[in-house]
Chains A and B, each alone.
Chain A
Amino acid sequence: MKRNPLTILVSAVLAAIFIMLLFVFQVRQSEVALKTLFDKPNATYDKPGAYFKWPWPIEKVYKFDKRIQNFEDKFSQGYTTDNNNVITTTYIGWHISDAGLFFPKFSGSVHIAQNTLEDILRNAQNGVIGQHRLGDLVNTDPKALKFEQIEDEIKQRVQSQLEAHNYGIEVDFLGFKKIELPEAVTQSVFERMKQERQLLISKETYDGLRDATIIKAEADRQASELVANAQASAIRIKGEGEAAAAPTLKTFEQNPDLYIFLLRIDALKQSLGQRATLIFDDRTPPFDLFQSQALKTPGNP
């Protein structure tokens, strides 16, 4: 059977490529590689480039990202030294410092490493928080706030644990991503915040009432004072009028009866208004004319 040379060529090229892939491996700038000979680690490559290896299963190459990995742990509830509950979540940046140590410890799995690190982190986190007060985490007084110190303490604890047991990883940074209160406490904080606002509402309402009352009372006082002063002034002015008119009294003294009579006449005039109703009998002058003989004409009885 005649074989197509093109098919053979393609097959050869493909075979060459795949054989090359079996014998050569590449390490990226961001990677560190561990080569094993029959599953026994025998070389670490942390410089980028292409390297030779015997094909699988003789030699195997495990490549790891040597850059800083980061993850955040689960929300976990802690208890402060002043008996407060806080829920925190922390993020952590770490990198593989020794691939030879890292590989057997975590089967070369970043995921397993992160799970392990998460347990260590949570333990350190809750331990450190337990040694601090809530005021060290939340405080308007900058001197009392120990946020950074707490983070450093957690980081040191994690790092010392990793170093003590040669995990082959190092912690680069660590920080609180979130600090919260438990749900029940959160509701209480909401309630307290509401009551704070209620206090302000009451204060505003009753302060307003007080201010309005003060303003009105002050106005009433001022008005009364003003009117009283005006009335006093009026009396004084009237007195001045009396004093000014006093010299004329000597004139009336010439005939007091006549003057008194005239005063009575004036009083009569002033006291009779339009709505006055007068009842007279026929003896009252000038109505006595009705019974006077003067009205009787001659011839009439």
Chain B
Amino acid sequence: MERNTQKNGLVNLVVGLIIFIAALAATVYVKSFTAQVAVIFLGLSVLVALMGWFQMRLEENERLEKLELDELAHGRGDSTLFAARDSEVFPARRSREQFEKYFVPGFSVLLLVFESAAAWIMWRWAGQPLSGFVPEHSMPALSLFAIFALVLFLVGRFSVTMVRLENSRLLRGSSSFLLAGAYVCMFTAVVIAGVEFKLAWADLWGARILCLLLALIAVEQLLTLLLEIYRPRIKGKIGRPLYDGRLVGLLAQPESLFTTAAQALDYQFGFKVSETWFYQLLQKNLLLLLLVQLAVLALSTCFVFVSPGEEAVLEHFGKRLPDPLLPGAHLKLPWPWDIAYHYQTERIQSLYVGFTPTEGKESRVILWSVPHDQEENFLVGGSQQTGVEKLEGDTNSIVKTPAVGLISVSIPVQYQITNVIDWAYYNSDPTNVLSEVASEQVVRFLAGEDLNQIMSAGRFEGGNYLRDQIQAAADERHLGAKITFVGLQDIHPPTKVAKDYESVIGARQTRLASNLLAQAEAVITNDTAVALAFSTNSAAESAKVQLETSAFARAALFTNQIPAFAAAPSVYKQRIYYQAFAQSTADARKYLLLVTNTHNVLIYNLEESIRSDLLLNNLKVPTPNETKP
């Protein structure tokens, strides 16, 4: 029996090693992340199998040694031999003990480091954006990993049964690892199948799941090592090998969960739930249930449901049916014979030329001078030309290079898939082709346009022209798409020169303002002149009338004054004089100099204010004596 166990251990080791090497080759062949992690797992199983087999060998040697000594002792009946020290008498046992005391913990620590490092490094590696997966090799790799899984499953299952029957603790570790390796290989095959069916993310996430598994095994290994330090050593009680992980055992034999669950249920309900017919049925037919589920899953692939707004292309053994499937339920052969590919044919889809939308950071205000989104600059024609003298051969000629400008455009292009067959089968990446076609047409259009023209009057026309051009190019490339809208709503000078454009508009407004101000001043000047002219004319008219009327009135007066004057010439003149004098000087300020000496003439400047010494209070009227010479 013991020999059988050792043989099983060796089989486990050899099978594990062969599968490990084959899986390594398959991984190099397909370059899958998941396969790489799976190979690491298989490598661990080889190490554990090697350790288990080696330890089995030691125990076998010890057993043989003990048998040999027992026979010797029994034959001779001499006890002196046993008086010697154990290390001298039982070298095999001593070796085994030393091995278990130092080598097994050391190996377990190394295993922990290896598992942790592998989990960490592979997780980081699997996070890289580029995958080196070779899709062309996926089908052979899938088959190989499935075969590996099958072989490991058969060998592992047999080995696990042997462990249960013979209660071999040292075989349990390698058996569990082999069986778990079978599931890991199956998982890898499923992941590769996912990638084959265009689920590119499957490889990355598959690798991450296996990395997590490795990390969990490492954590369990660490806890086992820590607990081993405090484990009570009872003489004669043999502990579980440190490298024999419980988690791997659980993964390899999930049915052991039933035992644990049954015990928990029995305890909880107070009776043997695990002995009820339902529990027994469930336990016996679990595999059948899983198969039924798989059958249902396979059966579900016989139906294809095309949603509203969608069309589907059905391929039968890779050959497409002539007409696409319209919305509704359709029957088909199960996967992988018939495969349906769905496309959104009604939905208006968008792509963007000249900018990359910044999701969630849209500004409520879009200004030329404030960068918005991630805009690109395009070359645009200019109406001016710059003269560049260029020598062409022996002749001097002036080559006019057109002035080029730069412009920022944000052009959304909206489209709809109208011919799903063309869309699916002419181009491997029709969305990208449409994007590049749109970019080309925009570049070509702007290169022939004047900057100012396209920003103003040519905008609507430009949008329609671009739509027609992109549509024509898309038709030429059999894209099967209808361009529904091309918008030139956000087209402007680059942000760096936008301020200068605004300054021109400001200067134009300033010009208009100064023009208006000048016009206002002109209006004032002209109106004032008109008013002045009118008043001048009016004054002249009134002066004329006054002159006429007063002349005639004065003549009439004079006619009457002549007799009066003739009657008393001097009196009349005096009367007129004094009347006029009194009347005209009534309001005037008057100074009367009552002096005898009239030879001294005093001249005062009375245009300005009166000097204070001329005021009456200070003015001294000269006396006659003073004025006498």
B565 contacts chain A at the CB level, 8 A cutoff:
yes
A56 to B500, CA, bound (A): 69
Residues of A within 8 A of B140 (CB): 56, 60
Minimal beta-carbon separation of B549 from chain A (angstroms) = 9
Which among B66-74, B234-242, B358-366, B379-387 touches the partner chain? B379-387
Minimal beta-carbon separation of A195 from chain B (angstroms) = 9
B406 contacts chain A at the CB level, 8 A cutoff:
yes
A185 to B136, CA, bound (A): 46
Minimal beta-carbon separation of A78 from chain B (angstroms) = 13
A296 contacts chain B at the CB level, 8 A cutoff:
no
Residues of B within 8 A of A227 (CB): 529, 532-533, 536
B444: contacting residue among A27, A135, A147, CB under 8 A: A147
A277 to B154, CA, bound (A): 145
- B428 with A68: CB separation less than 8 A: yes
B588 contacts chain A at the CB level, 8 A cutoff:
yes
**Total CB contacts across the A-B interface at under 8 A:** 382
- B515 with A282: CB separation less than 8 A: no
Residues of B within 8 A of A207 (CB): 511
Q: How many residues of B contact A (CB 8 A)?
A: 135
A276-301: CB near B (< 8 Å → 1, else 0) gives 11111111011100110000000000
A233 to B493, CA, bound (A): 61
B574-602: CB near A (< 8 Å → 1, else 0) gives 00111011011101111111110010000
Q: How many residues of A contact B (CB 8 A)?
A: 138
Minimal beta-carbon separation of A11 from chain B (angstroms) = 7
A67 to B447, CA, bound (A): 31
- B497 with A272: CB separation less than 8 A: no
A244 contacts chain B at the CB level, 8 A cutoff:
yes
A190: contacting residue among B318, B406, B584, CB under 8 A: B406
B515: contacting residue among A93, A186, A215, A269, CB under 8 A: A215
Which among B119-127, B256-264, B395-403 touches the partner chain? B395-403
Kindly identify, within residues 403 to 454 of chain B, every residue whose CB is under 8 Å from any CB belonging to chain A.
Answer: 403-406, 424-429, 432-433, 436-437, 439-440, 443-444, 447-450
Residues of B within 8 A of A25 (CB): 139
A222: contacting residue among B143, B146, B504, B526, CB under 8 A: B526
Minimal beta-carbon separation of B193 from chain A (angstroms) = 10
- A248 with B555: CB separation less than 8 A: yes
B277-305: CB near A (< 8 Å → 1, else 0) gives 00000000001100100000000000000
CB contact under 8 A between A138 and B380, given known A69-B428, A213-B518 = yes
B517 contacts chain A at the CB level, 8 A cutoff:
yes
A219 to B573, CA, bound (A): 56
- A220 with B525: CB separation less than 8 A: yes
Residues of B within 8 A of A163 (CB): none
A265 to B561, CA, bound (A): 14
Kindly identify, within residues 238 to 253 of chain A, every residue whose CB is under 8 Å from any CB belonging to chain B.
Answer: 238, 240-242, 244-245, 248-249, 251-252
Residues of B within 8 A of A222 (CB): 525-526, 529
CB contact under 8 A between A211 and B518, given known A147-B447, A194-B500, A233-B536 = yes
- A258 with B562: CB separation less than 8 A: yes
Which of B315, B511, B592, B598 has the most chain A CB atoms closer than 10 A to its own CB?
B511
List 10 interface pairs A-B (beta carbons < 8 Å), by A numbering: A83-B388, A83-B390, A135-B402, A190-B494, A192-B403, A222-B526, A241-B546, A242-B547, A265-B580, A277-B590
